[in-house]
Amino acid sequence: MTTIVPPIKCQGIKTKLVPLIQACVPARIEGTWIEPFCGSCVVALNVMPDRAILTDANPHIIGFYQGIQSGEITASSVRHFLEQEGRLLSREGEAHYYRVRARFKESHQPLDFLFLSRACFNGVMRFNRRGDFNVPFCKKVDRFSPAYITKIANQVKRFSEAIRSRDWQFRVGDFRATLRTATSGDFVYADPPYIGRHVDYFNTWDETDEQALVALLRGLPCHFILSTWHSNEYRTNSLLQANWQEARFSMRTIEHFYHVGATEELRNAMREAIVANYTLPELQPDPVGA
């Protein structure tokens, strides 16, 4: 089955890992699919639960998806907007990119957010401490070719079609409050910023946050999957074994390569870990039981 790609891209996106994550999700979820770090929503978009609570600390992602859900943002409106802004970018170059970035700082319009996320350096989503998008231009003045605009418009259309008949709620929220809503029969998929990897895209993430997440996941009344990093060429995530070594938790790892990152060192092979409070199947290719 072909993986459905969402219109929003951000570092850490799980597009290439979706089939492996899907293989780990129970065939039937009785309650609500809950994601406290929904990001691009690529996992929910492919698992397709009937009911979902999708939250994120980044209000711009949530606002964009709420716009699709309400019908304010459509494939045709995205196409028209990107054609218009793409012509200006082609004619005026980086001056127009920074004009849109300044405009977004004042108005926080969802289509400006989409434009910036697709025209910024290496697809990085990063905000400063004041909450302003601060990624520089990618230097490609002809970024928005007709084929590229069609690709994005089709992603918006597919996303809209996927959520039309489903009870999905998009919320801005803290992961603590989101996880406390989980009840028996629900299913939690948690894909937090990776501790020690400097890849958070809207706010900070430190060991205090990591341990709060671990405590909440360990105490859930339902099944969960946690996605995090296991190791790379240079070091290992020491908190992984410390937090999840008990027999009641299951772990699998798989090698993955990130193409989105601010520096070359963030775009190398990474061994990813999937942790759950039930027995996980073996993963292919290259399964490693941990």
pLDDT digits (tens, 9 = 90+) for 126-145: 898 888 999 999 999 999 99
Strand 250-257 and strand 223-231: pairing? unpaired
**Predicted local distance difference test score (pLDDT) of residue 197:** 55
Q: What is the pLDDT of residue 290?
A: 37
Partnered with residue 137 across adjacent β-strands are: 120
**DSSP state, 55?**
E
Of 131, 150, 7, the C-alpha closest to 69 is 7
How far is it, in rounded angstroms, from Cα 61 to Cα 9? 10
Topology, domain 73-159 = Adenine-specific Methyltransferase; domain 2 (1.10.1020)
Please give the pLDDT value at position 286: 44
Between 75-92 and 110-119, two packed helices, what is the crossing angle to 10 degrees? 50
Instruction: Determine contact, residues 49/12, Cβ cutoff 8 Å.
Output: no
Q: What pLDDT digit, counting tens, does each position of 186-214 carry?
A: 999 999 988 765 544 566 788 899 999 99
pLDDT in tens, 211-250: 999 999 999 999 999 999 898 888 888 889 899 999 999 9
Cα 194 to Cα 136: distance, rounded to the nearest angstrom? 23
Please state, in angstroms and rounded to a whole number, the distance separating the CA atoms of residues 35 and 215.
16
Give the count of beta carbons closer than 10 Å to the beta carbon of residue 245: 10
In the chain, pLDDT over 90 holds for what percent of residues?
74
Q: Which of 67-71, 145-149, 173-177, 281-285 has the lowest mean pLDDT?
A: 281-285
Mean pLDDT of 77-106: 98
Q: What is the pLDDT of residue 150?
A: 98
What pTM, to 2 d.p., does this model score? 0.91
Q: What is the pLDDT of residues 103-122, one digit of tens each?
A: 999 999 999 999 999 999 98
Q: How many CB atoms lie within 10 A of CB 76?
A: 11
Query: Given this model, what pLDDT does residue 260 score?
Result: 47
Query: What digits encode the pLDDT tens for the residues 143-181?
Result: 999 999 999 999 999 999 999 999 999 999 999 999 999
* Confidence (pLDDT) at 254: 87
Per-residue confidence (pLDDT) for residue 202, from 0 to 100: 62
Distance (Å, whole) CA 219 – CA 182: 10
Q: Are 216 and 246 in contact (CB under 8 A)?
A: no
Distances (CA, A) of 92 to 75, 98, 103, 141: 25, 11, 16, 8
Homologous superfamily of domain range 15-57+173-289: Vaccinia Virus protein VP39 (3.40.50.150)
CB 11 within 8 A of CB 260: yes
| 264 has pLDDT over 70 | no
pLDDT-based confidence at residue 289 (cuts at 50, 70, 90): very low
Looking at the DSSP assignment, which residues form a beta bridge with residue 170?
54
Please give the full DSSP string across 147-216, using - where no structure is assigned. HHHHHHHHHHHHHHHHHHTSEEEEEE--HHHHHTT--TT-EEEE----TTS---SSS---HHHHHHHHHH
**Burial of 133 (C-beta count, 10 Å sphere; 0-12/13-18/19+):** buried
Domain ranges of the chain: 15-57+173-289, 73-159
Tokens of 128: 């400063």
